[in-house]
Amino acid sequence: MILDNVENLVRPVFPFTAIVGQEEMKLALILNVIDPSIGGVMIMGDRGTGKSTTIRAIADLLPEIPIVADDPFNSHPSNLELMSEETKQNFIKNISIATKYIKVPMIDLPLGATEDRLCGTIDIEKALKDGVKTFEPGLLAKANRGILYVDEVNLLDDHLVDLLLDSAASGWNTVEREGISIRHPARFVLVGSGNPEEGELRPQLLDRFGMHAEIRTVKDPSLRVQIVEQRSQFDKNAQEYLSESLTNQEELKTAILNAQNILPDVELDYDFKVKISQVCSQLDVDGLRGDIVTNRAAKAFAAYENRSNVTQSDIEKVITLCLRHRLRKDPLETIDSGDKVSKVFKEVFN
């Protein structure tokens, strides 16, 4: 039993850079890691297309982060915006804070999760034993400064999706339970995946996801064989396969870190901002989320390309991902929503 637990702790993860195809999904995940304020990714596609594998791979790729030791909210040791109230008070009073490094948290939200499991609740055992009301953190606390993954998000209860999206948008989780009021940071990259055949997400909820990636089963036989052989090699000798991918993994990790550092200095010309809004207007996109997310994603892509100015090709690369899920559905429409975004982009920009 103990051996099994040890194996689970060190279970190897398939390397992100070795994943063949699904470029749209990979790019959306990378951009959200560079700038979490983009607002997460909704990944819709066929079964067995490597959605879960890719999401776990990006979390495994990221460098370790510093946290306050024994803090249930993964508080940052020096950034006030990423601290729990208790840590913030200790920081302000110059009380010594013990720190440690952990891997970026990757939290799975099961379909059967309750609101208490998600947001946190009262520690009943401690209340009965010691007579004190203590907060027991939920999955939102564990996911702070990490990735929260919801598989089959289109089957999740709507009120849980609402809670998730509110926390993802505000960066905070507030819990009112039995006379206790707790507010803690909940900054995470929200990643949802699902199969459209099993039901669509409500448009107002879909709109809250920053990006939307569509993935399809690979049709090219030679590419399918390549994917199957790669997986077989990994299952046969994971450590050897990981060591062969190490150089590519380190290069991507460096590129992401560099992009995070230069992102605050990336500039987007006013003319481009106007044209992005013109595209959104012509597509009849409700609200301004589409404009905001496209601006952020274009800057993140420029930073990823190690540039301090956004180009037209940067915007072209991300605009479909940012807008396709915000278009109003017309059952009589013959053109795909992604193609529609691309067509209007070309009209406005060219």
Query: Domain ranges in the chain?
Result: 2-62+103-217, 264-349
Alpha-carbon 26 to chain mean position: 11
pLDDT of residue 157: 83
Segment of 97-101, 190-194, 204-208, 295-299 carrying the highest mean pLDDT: 295-299
Angstrom distance (rounded) from CA 32 to CA 300: 8
Give pLDDT tens digits for 41-55: 999 887 777 788 888
pLDDT of residue 133: 65
The residue type of 250 is E
pLDDT of residue 332: 53
pLDDT band for position 304 (50/70/90)?
A: very high
Catalytic residue among 56, 145, 187, 289: 289
Angstrom distance (rounded) from CA 147 to CA 52: 12
Contact by Cβ (8 Å): 179, 121: no
Classified by CATH at the fold level, domain 264-349 comes out as Helicase, Ruva Protein; domain 3 (1.10.8)
Residue 81 corresponds to which tokens in the numbers above? 């915006």
pLDDT of residue 317: 93
pLDDT of residue 132: 66
Mean pLDDT of 9-38: 86
pLDDT of residue 307: 93
pLDDT of residue 161: 82
What phi and psi values does residue 175 have, to the nearest 5 degrees?
-125, 125
For all residues of the chain together, what is the average pLDDT?
A: 84
What is the CB-side half-sphere exposure of residue 133 using CA atoms within 13 A?
10
pLDDT above 60 (res 270): yes
Angstrom distance (rounded) from CA 209 to CA 232: 34
pLDDT of residue 124: 67
Give pLDDT tens digits for 215-225: 888 788 888 88
Mean pLDDT of 229-241: 88
pLDDT of residue 339: 86
Residue 94 corresponds to which tokens in the numbers above? 């110059």
pLDDT band for position 274 (50/70/90)?
A: very high
Strand partners, 211: 41
Mean pLDDT of 130-149: 83
**Per-residue 3-state assignment (H helix, E strand, C coil) for the chain:** CHHHHHHHHCCCCCCHHHCCCCHHHHHHHHHHHHCHHHCCEEEEECCCCCHHHHHHHHHHHCCCEEEECCCCCCCCCCCHHHCCHHHHHHHHCCCCCCEEEECCCEEECCCCCCHHHHHEEECHHHHHHHCCCCEEECHHHHCCCEEEEEECHHHCCHHHHHHHHHHHHHCEEEEEECCEEEEEECCEEEEEEECHHHCCCCHHHHCCCCEEEEECCCCCHHHHHHHHHHHHHHHHCHHHHHHHHHHHHHHHHHHHHHHHHHHHHCECCHHHHHHHHHHHHHCCCCCCHHHHHHHHHHHHHHHHCCCCECCHHHHHHHHHHHHHHHCCCCCCCCCCHHHHHHHHHHHHHC
The residue type of 156 is L
The verdict on whether 56 is a catalytic residue reads no
Angstrom distance (rounded) from CA 337 to CA 76: 40
pLDDT above 50 (res 9): no
Give pLDDT tens digits for 62-99: 888 888 888 888 888 888 888 888 888 888 888 888 88
96 compared with 306, residue with greater pLDDT: 306
pLDDT of residue 7: 39
pLDDT of residue 322: 93
pLDDT band for position 131 (50/70/90)?
A: low
pLDDT band for position 205 (50/70/90)?
A: confident
pLDDT of residue 3: 42
Residues 6+ apart with CB under 8 A from 96: none
pLDDT of residue 1: 41
pLDDT of residue 128: 64
Mean pLDDT of 246-275: 93
Q: Which CATH class is domain 2-62+103-217?
A: alpha beta
What is the CB-side half-sphere exposure of residue 237 using CA atoms within 13 A?
5
pLDDT of residue 72: 85
Mean pLDDT of 16-37: 89
Angstrom distance (rounded) from CA 124 to CA 333: 54
pLDDT above 50 (res 235): yes
pLDDT of residue 331: 57
pLDDT above 90 (res 31): yes
Percentage of the residues of the chain whose pLDDT score is greater than 90: 27
pLDDT band for position 126 (50/70/90)?
A: low
Mean pLDDT of 143-162: 86
Q: Is the dihedral of CA 300, 59, 249, 220 positive or negative?
A: negative
Burial label for 253, CB within 10 Å (0-12, 13-18, 19+), is middle
The residue written with tokens 């799975």 in the block is 108
